[in-house]
Amino acid sequence: MAKQTTTQNSQKRETEQIQQSNTHFQTLKELPTPLYQSQCVLHKHEFLICGGWHERTCYSYHTLKNEYKFICRYPSHVILRGHCVVKLVDSNSNNDKDNNQITLLSFGGSKYTKKHTLVMKYVSVWSDDENQNEMNRSKKLNEFNQFTKSNNDNKWLPFTENRNYPIIIGRERDHDYNGARALIGGINNHLLFITYRKNNIKNGQVQEMMKTNKQNYQMLLFCFDTGLSIEYDEDNNTFRFYKLPVCDDIAPFYQYAYVCINDMILFFGGWDFCSVVSKSVHKYSIRENKWTTFENTLPSPILQY
């Protein structure tokens, strides 16, 4: 009996290896808590996964270790039903490679829930593990961490102005942040750009901001068969909109997952608002203004609100 079980397990592993060898996608460890409509921020080798639909738990996923660590939970009074999380950029630094901590901004809510606007000073939950592998500098880093760490690290706290009055982004009645997307921009990284759903219209599922010249910024937005390049002129506080092509294969879909790499955007899956969830992978080249549909598909259908 034991020999039969061992043989079955071996065959199962071989089948899984063959299946993985036939695809370009690798199966990663599942989240400790299933999350829907979660918001993610990239920081060094971490994906910070901040809550989801009616779920307040936040995790850090380490891309090299393929492991998760618990960060915190949103306050008990916060109901996550449509929210955005963005990384605030330090205007004095062009990159965060050497930054020991970052600041996150979370805001959102729907017409059925109260709005929230919170900030978190995030210090990596993986610091201790990484220090063990770098013995030569672990002592200095530990001393620095002890010096800089406060009781408010890795906690969602109210976003306040100079006099400590809370700031809430959005009006309570007519702003519904289900499906909203947000970006930080401006010459001093002091502007927050938001697209959100209004009057039951789903706004863009993909955005990317690029600096086109000293004071102009470009955002890309795709949803169903609509593609837009949105240019913002900071000097004159004006927007210009230019139509972009959308390939026929992806036009029926929205709620796709996406990632921007250099000058291209990759789209994964999507939903047609009826019954079809896609397994397709598409690429849009920003420089060439061209779409490509990949022959390889996802192991399973995927949608991301």
Tally of domains in the chain: 1
Burial of 279 per CB tally in 10 Å (0-12, 13-18, 19+): middle
Is 231 inside a domain boundary? no
| Mean per-residue pLDDT, 62-70 | 96
The overall longest dimension of the chain from CA atoms, in Å, is 77
Is 263 inside a domain boundary? no
Give yes or no for residue 203 having a pLDDT over 60.
no
Is 29 inside a domain boundary? no
DSSP, res 5: H
pLDDT tens digits along 21-56: 456 788 889 999 988 889 999 999 999 999 999 999
Is 70 inside a domain boundary? yes
Q: What percent of the chain has pLDDT over 90?
A: 45
183 backbone dihedrals φ, ψ, rounded to 5°: -140, 150
Is 225 inside a domain boundary? no
Query: How far, CA to CA in Å, does 271 sit from each of 179, 196, 215, 254?
Result: 13, 18, 36, 5
Looking at residue 18, its pLDDT comes to 42
Query: How far, CA to CA in Å, does 54 sit from each of 2, 35, 45, 48, 180?
Result: 44, 9, 27, 18, 16
pLDDT tens digits along 218-246: 889 998 999 999 999 988 889 999 999 99
18-32, 62-76, 115-129, 191-205: which has the minimum mean pLDDT?
191-205
Is 268 inside a domain boundary? no
pTM for this predicted structure: 0.78
Q: Is the dihedral of CA 175, 177, 179, 181 positive or negative?
A: positive
Is 20 inside a domain boundary? no
126 vs 98 pLDDT, higher one: 126
For residues 106 and 39, the answer to whether their CB atoms sit within 8 Å is yes
Looking at residue 154, its pLDDT comes to 97
Looking at residue 36, its pLDDT comes to 86
Give yes or no for residue 71 having a pLDDT over 50.
yes
| Mean per-residue pLDDT, 254-278 | 91
CA gap 21, 77 in Å, rounded: 46
CA gap 50, 58 in Å, rounded: 4
Give yes or no for residue 123 having a pLDDT over 90.
yes
Q: Which amino acid is at 83?
A: H
4 vs 154 pLDDT, higher one: 154
**Residue 171: which pLDDT band, with cuts at 50, 70 and 90?**
confident
Question: What range does the domain containing 191 cover?
Answer: 34-92+99-124+152-198
- ∠300-196-39 over CA atoms, to 5°? 45
Give yes or no for residue 212 having a pLDDT over 70.
no
